[in-house]
Structure 1
């Protein structure tokens, strides 16, 4: 029990226990639907069960690429396109902003972009009136989609971050996640680089969870009028729980993802509410916790 206020996080054994409360589900991808290599057991069946029950499903990923790219990637992993209704990504939100320049920040960015990220993300520049440059000295802004190689660390990019800081270049971060799971490994994401850039005094425009813009888009896609009938499901208190809470919807924390060890998640075992309460009480508080997205 939380010593401060008596809060104890509710733990549910499966989605069936709470499905009746909701008409719309916003679903994280990595750590909830799959581990970067394959879907978690029974997840696809759960998605189809929710659809058959008349629930509206919107997949929401902090992936630094467009939504169609993620749909194709998770289909190859084993999550069919007909298992959900809609898909949105932080990268899609960035692309739309770079395309349409909807506010003063984007209108002032300029056209010469230094891309920090792997070659597989270069499609983020397709269809945009931008010139890709190779060093900070020639750039108007930085587009950060994450590390180029799995083994990279923040230190790998410190020289380019320092060069961008020296010119006071604004950064657009296309993935606020700090880390992600790929099988059993934990790798850094664009958010770790953006965090270091901010710590050095740089300006960062963040997109995706937990920021409100992407939730407004998902709520519009779901078309559920009563926000009390919508729940956001994810494995990160920092992004998924905080984002859902700020959007005025319920949040379901999935314990078997990125923080499985911290939450003492063991497949097949009941989660310990007291331990989870101690771990979660000082951060964003979920409406409930489930081990995995199973029925």
Structure 2
């Protein structure tokens, strides 16, 4: 198995009418937009391709639009935006899924203040852990915190049998080259400790069903672009998309033995993908046309 290493999305653009794009690790690094990202969005639009930004961000879509605008990625450059936080908001609102229908109305927000829009405006009350019916996990309060910082609270929650809703399945992201723990890592530990966890976001097939409905296209005419094999590539493959383009300069750069601006060797790329098991249709150094 050899993964095609392409120089730009234009090389495979004829395979799709729309692209589902990851944000963190593809369009931006958590602080700034990557060089060339804006131009690539412009090129996608000029080529007549729809674009849907799909992020495992524990915030609602409008918050991501505002964040992108501050980075110089204005709203006119992409067609749609969908986030794991938005998906959780909709589940908490609808309460049609049996898991969510069974939740109480008192939640303990395990996460920073900036993520409260996931439940703001809904019929829930944020309370302390001792009075909560469930945990809403949007990730660590501080970028320097680790999973271990949250184990005491998790033990307390387990004693009360509290279920957890996770608004971001990502385990870690790279913020300007430094790893930052995400909500998914907290949820993973809680599940290992015996807790019940529900997640929304990549690679959950449900969020791709929603994305395809928004795009109005069959899965066979949509490709994904992302830097995480276990979420972006796995999710695209499970959803039956035309394939995923793996951005090598993202979260797996260290695993691939590359520095900024470098391409991995073909042998290193192929062996890493084979060991991981989630196979992309192609690999690309950065998000570039």
Q: TM-score normalised to the size of structure 2? A: 0.97
Q: d(CA) in 2 for partners of 1:272 and 1:221? A: 37
Per the TM alignment, residue 149 of structure 1 is displaced from its structure 2 partner at its CA by 0.7
Of 20, 27, 32, 1:33 maps to 27
Partner of 1:115: 109
Note the alpha carbon deviations across 1:119-143, whole angstroms, 9 max, x for none: 11122221110111112x2111100
Partner of 1:138: 131
Partner of 1:170: 163
CA contact (8 A) 1:245 1:251 kept: yes
CA gap 1:177/1:270 in 2 versus in 1, 3 angstroms: closer
Of 232, 239, 242, 2:231 maps to 239
Partner of 1:56: 50
Partner of 1:290: 284
CA contact (8 A) 2:205 2:239 kept: yes
Q: d(CA) in 1 for partners of 2:173 and 2:43? A: 27
Q: d(CA) in 2 for partners of 1:169 and 1:144? A: 12
CA contact (8 A) 2:18 2:223 kept: yes
Per the TM alignment, residue 265 of structure 1 is displaced from its structure 2 partner at its CA by 3.4
Partner of 1:4: none
CA contact (8 A) 1:9 1:286 kept: yes
Note the alpha carbon deviations across 1:66-107, whole angstroms, 9 max, x for none: 001111111112211111100000000000000110121111
Of 253, 261, 272, 1:260 maps to 253
Q: How many residues in Structure 1 have an aligned counterpart in Structure 2?
A: 287
Q: Look up the SS of the partner of 1:75 in the other structure.
A: helix
Pairwise CA RMSD: 1.1
CA contact (8 A) 2:248 2:263 kept: no
CA contact (8 A) 1:13 1:270 kept: no
Structure 1 residue ranges without an equivalent (≥5):
1-6
Partner of 2:147: 154
Note the alpha carbon deviations across 1:176-226, whole angstroms, 9 max, x for none: 00001111211100000000000001000011000011111111111123x
Per the TM alignment, residue 158 of structure 1 is displaced from its structure 2 partner at its CA by 0.7
Q: Look up the SS of the partner of 1:281 in the other structure.
A: helix
2:215 pairs with 1:222: yes
Of 66, 74, 77, 1:83 maps to 77
Structure 2 residue ranges without an equivalent (≥5):
none
